[in-house]
Amino acid sequence: MSSTDAGGDRLAGLLAEHAELEATLADPAVHTDTGRARRLGRRYAQLAPVVETARALDAARDDLAAARELSGEDASFAAEAEQLEQQVEGLTARLTEQLLPKDPDDDKDVILEIKAGEGGAESALFAGELLRMYLRYAERRGWATEVLDAVDAELGGYKDIAIAVKARGDEGIWSRLKFEGGVHRVQRVPVTESQGRIHTSAVGVLVLPEAEEVDVTVDPNDLRIDVFRSSGPGGQSVNTTDSAVRITHLPSGIVVSSQNEKSQLQNRESALRVLRSRLLAAARDEAAAAASDARRSQVRTVDRSERVRTYNFPENRISDHRVGFKAHNLDQVLDGDLDPVIDALTAAHTAELLAAGS
Please give the Cα distance from 38 to 183 (Å, whole number).
33
What lies within 8 Å, CB to CB, of 291 at 6+ separation is 284, 285
- Collapsed DSSP state (helix, strand, coil) of residue 44: helix
> Tell me, what's the pLDDT at 22?
93
Cα dihedral 324, 328, 333, 337 in deg (nearest 10) = -90
Residues 337 and 332: their CA atoms lie apart, in Å, by 6
Closest CA to 243 of 161, 149, 155: 149
Domains and CATH numbers, the chain: 2-98 (1.20.58), 110-351 (3.30.70.1660)
Residues 250/223, Cβ–Cβ less than 8 Å: yes
What per-residue confidence (pLDDT) applies to 75?
Answer: 80
Does the predicted model carry a pTM greater than 0.85? Answer: no
Walk along the chain (358 residues) and give the pLDDT tens digit of each residue.
444 444 578 899 999 999 999 999 999 999 999 888 888 888 888 889 999 999 999 999 999 999 998 887 878 788 899 999 999 999 999 999 889 888 888 888 999 999 998 888 899 999 999 999 999 999 999 999 999 888 999 889 999 999 999 988 667 799 999 999 999 999 998 876 767 788 899 999 999 988 776 677 788 888 898 888 776 544 444 455 678 898 999 988 889 888 877 788 888 888 888 888 888 887 776 655 544 454 455 554 444 456 899 999 999 999 999 999 999 999 999 999 999 999 999 999 988 888 877 5
pLDDT at 129: 96
pLDDT of residue 184: 96
